[in-house]
Structure 1
């Protein structure tokens, strides 16, 4: 039974009971108080006339005060019925008639079913759209369904933990399932999927690391914890900044590697252009890109100036990149300590790993929990001073609210201009703002989540998913026989690092470089640029 039908039944029953009780009371008043002797049916007629608003008044006037008050009460009840009860019944009918239809099932096969929808799954849906992969999102909230439908996303309304809803999503004919619900309902969603198919691939996104094993027991093939992995990457990045024995060089295979280098004011490269640094003179090292004014710029020109706090992405032989790391390290007189703002999943993991590596770590949080050293707001100058921000080497910001995180960057940069600031963002749209505010290194959760899912669900060859950029290995027959300058690559904000061939790796790539069959491209760029390239070459 529909909602409006249930309301109608309840309302009709209520009005009938009200009329019956009112007619009994009215008949009693007319006989006992007014001294009249009408028939009971006449009393019922008067009550109905009053409740319907016709009110012929055949019995007026009434002599007693009680009789008049009772009639007044019945008159007022007419407004109750007309303006409260009637809208209560017909509002759902009007909403259903005027609102757009909500999809409740799909006709598709060999697709991906996404249970729930958050910013984490949003990046995956973008990957689906880029590669023309069929999918359907299952969410319970009607308003969210309409919003997603308006945005052009394939969606149906249904409880992601319900076997019936998953049947309407045709999960039995799907290629895989991604569970993007809250952690408490993830296991239920997995069990609902397993009711339909014992062998389908199920990938679950989870926040709480302690729930990973129970969700696997429910039947998940892979449980991904992006927050935990992001925290591990932040801890690694911080350790490379404060410990000269730790390298941040990422191997890409066959003596080809990648490293991100932040230029400090007293760095030997500060104030020079890329060409003047000598980085690209021998041809074995490639400046893949850099971050300036909050944005990533791929393949910067040799005359690009290197300013303070600029981060450069460089590719080349691993030994040369490690030497570059050593040359760009500076002795700024700081004490090697780290301040961590926020003690949630990310902040707690970062501080735990740093303390496990004997790093002096001070945690700032609003709550006075075990493991928190300074209680207060990380946007407050006095709180940061008490945490030792002015002498610290690095500042990790893992606050849940992006706006507060950006404010904390601004305050910290003002207090300690040479401080290395690493920030976790929850919305990729805020990444550029954090960089403009003064952050040296920014990782956002949606991009990390999307890369992890693309790696597992789409089998994309992502070489590194936990960096500021997306680094992939890519092949396309549409490039065979074409020169680099005739492809979409020069137009997009991504860089061709190298080309792997059967006889070796080519790193000296000019605009006239011609692609051959079997070439495997190593690409680096922001997620949007890589997705755009793959879309054009699909």
Structure 2
């Protein structure tokens, strides 16, 4: 029995006892003091009328002071019952009946179970699944959060995702995969709960602590992802490629084709030129297939687009030509070769470790005085940035966990050091464009990387660039077979067709009437939003 049910039963019993006792006292007052001779049931009726406020004029007036005082006490007791006791009992009953409750079961099968709700990452996952038409169920422990999710159209089951009961109600044994999205300390419990119910469902776990890898494998996880570490390694790799010409940031797609992201600095020979003048148009074997304009990715930019300072450009072409282009286009200014890192969390400390292993001088700034910190201070304070001589550094890595603070620090850094390369991480996909508008040259989103990794492991998507600012997706051409390029969803979204693999050859030159064969394999580039829109529009 629930607490409110016990409370209601106890209160009803107490009221019944009160009515009986009051009836006895009232009855004998009339008999012994007033000199009347009513039956006991008549006295009980009058007491009930008093308590319910429905009237009791049949017995008035009372002749003795005691009888009048008794009636006064009973009248006052009516207020006690109506305004104190009854709400105490009936309010929880009404709340129980009228308050909406989140769903506790699902009928879904061949779906993806997401165990746990870490908002930013969960939202990005849901976007991936919705865009691709993949059924899912989100298991949430908090009832209010579950209700909010349900109201917003999310398929949800209310329950503790670390318990077999909640996972059973989410039909995890009939799911195609289960994604463990709980706090790190609960991941092992969640994996064990899933394996208690099924050994067939694929289990993908996300963790922050690398030391959890072996325990989770023992618990039964099939795939263990560490998005933060991957993000940190990618940021470090990006910075290293700016310093060491022997390290290329070119992403090889095939033996004949590759892409690279480059920043147009002030001393870059392309700065101020149009794409056509820079030789990055369709007439060249090296083509700009996208760039960031005011924080937004623009696919297939017009040839008259001017390459402005601090613009980021996505270039495609033969791998050797791109590597040669890298050596001729300086990304980082010639300063003291030092990197300033803001934020000493897992991402920031990993970036520093990777860079120092490569012999790059780093200065680590954090608000909290901890081991390895070079300067204690707030990276959103201009005085602290001046203290670390940011103006003389080559690269500024913003690894702050708070999005608002990261944006503020980027703004200050760009104002202090106009030519510095700013590399940043953010915790929300929607903040990426703001970070670029604030002055960041290279931005990665943790939820995006998490979603891309899961898409590779759960949806079996052939992603070639899950750790870059832009995704490169390889898809089979059978779903678009017989359509010309102008008839495909590519023409109506911000995605761009980079290349087509056909009969062992790589085609990179197409016109709008290019027809897709069923045996083709298409390489499509774009932002996460662009590829989600493309997946949604796919026939």
Q: What secondary structure is seen at the aligned counterpart in 2 of 1:404?
A: helix
Distance of aligned partners of 1:11 and 1:453 in 2 relative to their CA distance in 1, 3 Å threshold:
farther
Residue matched to 1:278: 279
How far has the Cα of 1:476 moved from its partner? Answer: 3.5
Pairing of 1:5-154 with structure 2 (within 5 A): 5-9=5-9, 11=11, 83=83, 86-117=86-117, 118-154=119-155
Relative to structure 1, is the Cα distance of residues 480 and 95 closer, same or farther in structure 2, using a 3 angstrom cutoff? same
> Equivalences for 1:329-478 in 2 at 5 Å?
329=330, 332-478=333-479
Write the distance in 1 (CA, Å) between the matches of 2:103 and 2:217.
31
Alpha carbons of structure 1 residues 176 and 330: separation in structure 2 relative to 1, 3 Å: closer
| C-alpha distance in 1 between matches for 2:115 and 2:10 | 35
Aligned twin of 1:35: none
Cα 1:501–1:163 change in 2 (3 A) is: same
Structure 1 residues 59, 516: closer, same or farther in 2, change over 3 A? farther
What CA deviation, in whole Å up to 9, does each residue of 1:57-112 have, x standing for no partner?
Answer: 999979xxxx99xx99x999987765555444333332333333421111122221
For 1:354 and 1:203, the matched residues in 2 are separated by 30
- Alpha carbons 1:499, 1:507 under 8 Å: kept: yes
Counterpart for residue 179 of structure 2: 178
| Equivalent position of 2:494 in the other structure | 493
Kindly state the Cα deviation for residue 521 of structure 1 after the two structures are TM-superposed: 0.6
Superposed, which structure 2 residues align to 1:166-315 within 5 Å?
A: 166-280=167-281, 283-315=284-316
Asked if structure 2 preserves the Cα contact closer than 8 Å seen for 1:121 and 1:449, the reply is no
Q: In terms of mean alpha carbon deviation, does 201-210 or 312-321 score higher? A: 201-210
User: Contact 1:286–1:497 at 8 Å: present in 2 too?
Assistant: no
Provide the secondary structure at the position in 2 that maps to 1:369: coil
Distance in 1 of aligned mates of 2:64 and 2:115:
65
CA RMSD of aligned residues (A): 3.2
**For residues 226 and 358 of structure 1, what CA distance do their matches in structure 2 show?**
25
Q: Deviations over 1:505-535 (max 9, x none)?
A: 0011222222112111111101121122122
Q: Secondary structure at the match of 1:481?
A: coil
Do the aligned partners of residues 268 and 171 (structure 1) sit closer, same or farther apart at CA in structure 2, a change above 3 Å counting?
same
Paired residues of 2:263 and 2:331 also in contact (CA < 8 A): no
Q: Secondary structure at the match of 2:391?
A: coil
Q: Is the 8 A contact 2:332 2:421 kept in 1?
A: no
- Per the normalisation by structure 2, the TM-score is 0.87
Deviation of the 1:412 alpha carbon = 0.6
Deviation string 1:89-138 (CA, Å, 9 cap, x unpaired) is: 33333233333342111112222111112321322222222222222111
Scaled by the length of structure 1, the TM-score of the pair is 0.87
- Equivalent in the alignment of 1:34: none
CA distance in 1, matches of 2:98, 2:309: 58
Q: CA deviation at 1:378?
A: 0.6
- Once residues 186 and 61 of structure 1 are traced to their aligned partners in structure 2, the CA distance between those partners, rounded to angstroms, is 73
User: Relative to structure 2, which stretch is displaced further, 76-85 or 359-368?
Assistant: 76-85
Q: How far apart, CA to CA, are the structure 1 residues paired with 2:63 and 2:123?
A: 69
Q: How far, CA to CA, are the matches of 1:343 and 1:355 in structure 2?
A: 14
> How many residue pairs get matched?
516
Are the aligned partners of 2:496 and 2:526 in contact in 1 as well (CA < 8 Å)? yes
Q: Which residue of 1 aligns with 2:482?
A: 481
- Whether the 8 Å CA contact 1:402–1:427 is kept in 2: the answer is yes
Contact 1:476/1:537, CA 8 A, preserved across alignment: no
Give the 3-state SS of the residue equivalent to 1:253 in structure 2: coil
C-alpha distance 92-454 of structure 1, shift in aligned 2 (>3 A): farther
- Encode CA deviations 1:276-327: one digit per residue, 9 max, x unaligned: 0013365322211000111100000110001000000001111111111111
| SS of equivalent residue, structure 1 residue 217 | helix
Tell me the distance in 1 between the aligned counterparts of 2:92 and 2:428.
Answer: 36
